[in-house]
């Protein structure tokens, strides 16, 4: 069995972190078997190295090794890519095609980003893991394959299972052995080693002196979060190697190449209201509608009493109700104007109301009462009340207006309107 150090040199793996060493040890131990392996870790930590180590140390090392990025293949064609298809099985299938599982028979398949597989493809993959059988797209013939599957993902598989995006039985089939690679921010002692290795590689590639970091720049390098892990560190080293003419890199220079955490990320906008938000808005709307309906019913009752009795007591109660609805002060005069609101019973017995403010120094109140058995015309009753008030007060408009509970100006307008 090869040592961890030999494997690092052979596959150019830089670092001495204990978690990294343990991941390589597990890969060496599991390689001689045919056990399925799931490699987990954040994007950019170098998960693709583990299946290469496993394949090279297994008895399948002389067979084919195929790496498949499941997230890069469209959902409509991934079954064809993995399992093959027959001629005419779908539009564009001008000939039969062998899939990766048929081509890699006797070797190893590395399924990168396996968490992105569609559920239908997951069912097919589960059958391969259970008994080595698969069926080509458009075929009814069962075929056999003998492949070793190593999968990798940066997705939290338990969350994906809970959300129904990944099959639980497939997860346990794939993760017979789980190898986790730590993120770069947990490998503090390896960060500068990796940067120096990348700087040397790019110096040779671009034929220029290697870049070097001063002490303050090294401190910044170690404290940075490195969300993109090794891939991000490599890109930063390449940028600086190409763009900086001064090969001694200061803290300030390095800071200019490091994205500020969160500053380069899109803002998260809440474009959907939660169910509780809608529920609260509905409750408020219902309360407002019920209050309006209650006030309207009270107003109708008082209007009917006013038309039937015409007493001062009813007029005073009407004033109080108007003050309650519109927030008027006691000394504010309320004018009755032409009807501008209609109340129409709908099929679900709900009533609607519409108020319109006029650019005038008076507030206008109007209503049309609707009863189930009888319909009353407000304008006719209004004319009758005005005539009675004028007769009772011997044609004195001011006294008649006071009795009606309206201003003299409004009474004058009504007399003119109804040609009394």
Gap between the Cα atoms of 338 and 379, Å rounded: 8
Cα separation, 178 vs 38, whole angstroms: 5
C-alpha of 213 from chain center: 41
pLDDT by residue for the chain (420 residues), tens only, comes to 689 999 999 999 999 999 999 999 999 999 999 999 999 999 999 999 999 999 999 999 999 999 999 999 998 899 999 999 999 888 888 889 999 999 999 999 999 999 999 999 999 999 999 999 999 999 999 999 999 999 999 999 999 999 999 999 999 999 999 999 999 999 999 999 999 999 999 999 999 999 999 999 999 999 999 999 999 999 999 999 999 999 999 999 999 999 986 544 444 444 444 455 556 666 777 777 777 877 788 787 777 777 766 555 556 665 666 665 555 444 444 454 444 444 444 444 444 444 444 444 444 444 344 444 444 566 777 788 888 888 888 888 888 888 888 888 787 788 877 777
Q: Given this model, what pLDDT does residue 336 score? A: 45
List all residues 6 or more positions away from 389 whose beta carbon is below 8 Å from its beta carbon: 310, 400, 401, 403, 404
Nearest Cα neighbor of 34 from 4, 56, 52, 59 is 59
What pLDDT sits at residue 393? 83
Which one, of 98, 31, 25, lies nearest residue 61 by Cα?
31
Number of neighbours of residue 269 by Cβ within 10 angstroms: 6
Give the per-residue pLDDT at 334. Answer: 47
What pLDDT is attached to residue 227?
Answer: 94
412 HSE (CA, 13 A, CB side): 4
Greatest Cα-to-Cα distance within the chain, rounded to the nearest angstrom: 123
Sign of CA pseudo-dihedral 154, 157, 162, 166: positive
Give CA–CA dist 158/138, Å, rounded.
33
Query: Between the CA atoms of 10, 14, 18 and 21, what dihedral angle is there, to the nearest 10 degrees?
Result: -20
Whole-angstrom distance between the N-terminal and C-terminal Cα of the chain? 116
Cα-atom radius of gyration of the chain, to the nearest Å?
41
**CATH class for the domain made up of 4-182:** alpha beta
- 68 secondary structure, DSSP code: E
Q: Which of 147, 61, 33 is nearest to 98 (CA)?
A: 147
Find all residues with CB under 8 Å of 247, minimum gap 6, and list them. Answer: 208, 209, 210, 211, 212
Q: Which residues contact 98 (CB under 8 A, 6 or more apart)?
A: 84
For residue 244, the model assigns a pLDDT of 94
Cα gap 275→277, rounded to integer Å: 5
Predicted local distance difference test score (pLDDT) of residue 154: 95
- pLDDT for position 367: 39
The span from the CA of 338 to the CA of 320, in Å, is 21
Contact 318, 375 (CB under 8 A): no
* Residue 279 φ then ψ, to 5°: -60, -45
Q: pTM for the complete prediction?
A: 0.62
CA distance 243 to 247: 10
CATH level 2 (architecture), domain 188-255: Orthogonal Bundle (1.10)
Domain ranges of the chain: 4-182, 188-255, 293-418
Strands (E), 76-166: 84-85, 97-98, 108-112, 133-135, 142-144, 148-153
Residue given tokens 């509970």 in the structure block: 405
Structure confidence at residue 385 (pLDDT) = 82
CB 52 within 8 A of CB 11: yes
Pairwise CA distance, residues 196 & 244, whole Å: 16
pLDDT on residue 217? 96
Give the up-direction half-sphere exposure of residue 271: CA atoms within 13 A in the CB hemisphere: 3
Q: Report CA-CA distances (Å) from 285 to 276, 292, 306, 356, 420.
A: 14, 11, 31, 20, 44
Question: How many whole angstroms separate alpha carbon 224 and alpha carbon 226?
Answer: 6
> What is residue 85's predicted lDDT score, i.e. its pLDDT?
92
Q: How far is CA 311 from CA 315, 333, 381, 390, in A?
A: 6, 18, 15, 15
């Amino acid at each position: 069995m090869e040592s961890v150090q030999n494997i690092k040199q052979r596959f150019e793996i830089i670092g001495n972190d204990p978690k990294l060493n343990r991941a390589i040890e597990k890969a060496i131990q599991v390689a001689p078997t045919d056990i399925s392996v799931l490699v987990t870790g954040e994007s950019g930590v170098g998960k693709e190295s583990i299946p290469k180590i496993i394949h090279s140390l297994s008895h399948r090392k002389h067979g084919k090794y195929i790496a498949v990025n499941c997230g890069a293949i469209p959902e409509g064609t991934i079954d064809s890519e993995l399992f093959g298809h027959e001629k005419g099985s779908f539009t564009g299938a001008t000939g039969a095609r062998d899939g990766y599982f048929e081509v890699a028979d006797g070797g190893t398949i590395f399924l990168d980003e396996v968490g992105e597989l569609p559920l239908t493809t997951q069912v097919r993959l589960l059958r391969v893991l259970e008994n080595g059988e698969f069926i080509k797209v458009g075929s009814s013939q069962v075929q056999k394959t003998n492949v070793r599957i190593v999968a990798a993902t940066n997705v939290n598989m338990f969350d994906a299972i809970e959300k129904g995006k990944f099959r639980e039985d497939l997860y346990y089939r794939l993760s017979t052995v789980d190898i986790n690679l730590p993120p770069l921010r947990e490998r503090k002692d390896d960060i500068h080693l990796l940067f120096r290795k990348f700087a040397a590689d790019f110096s040779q590639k671009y034929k220029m002196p290697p870049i070097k970091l001063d002490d303050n720049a090294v401190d910044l390098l170690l404290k940075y979060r490195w969300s993109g892990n090794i891939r991000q560190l490599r890109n930063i080293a390449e940028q600086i190697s190409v763009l900086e003419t001064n090969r001694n890199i200061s803290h300030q220079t390095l800071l200019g190449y490091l994205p500020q955490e969160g500053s380069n990320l899109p803002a998260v906008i809440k474009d959907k209201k939660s169910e509780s938000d809608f529920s609260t808005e509905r409750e408020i709307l219902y309360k407002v509608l019920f209050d309006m309906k209650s006030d309207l019913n009270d107003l109708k009752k008082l209007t009917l009493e006013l038309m039937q009795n015409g007493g001062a007591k009813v007029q005073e109660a009407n004033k109080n109700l108007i003050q309650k609805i519109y927030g008027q002060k006691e000394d504010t005069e309320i004018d009755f104007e032409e009807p501008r609101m209609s109340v129409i019973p709908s099929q679900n017995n709900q009533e609607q109301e519409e108020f319109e403010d006029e650019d005038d120094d008076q507030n206008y109140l109007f209503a049309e009462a609707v009863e189930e058995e009888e319909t009353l015309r407000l304008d006719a009753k209004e004319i009758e009340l005005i005539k009675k008030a004028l007769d009772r007060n011997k044609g004195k408009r001011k006294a008649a207006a006071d009795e009606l509970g309206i201003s003299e100006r409004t009474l004058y307008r009504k007399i003119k309107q109804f040609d009394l």
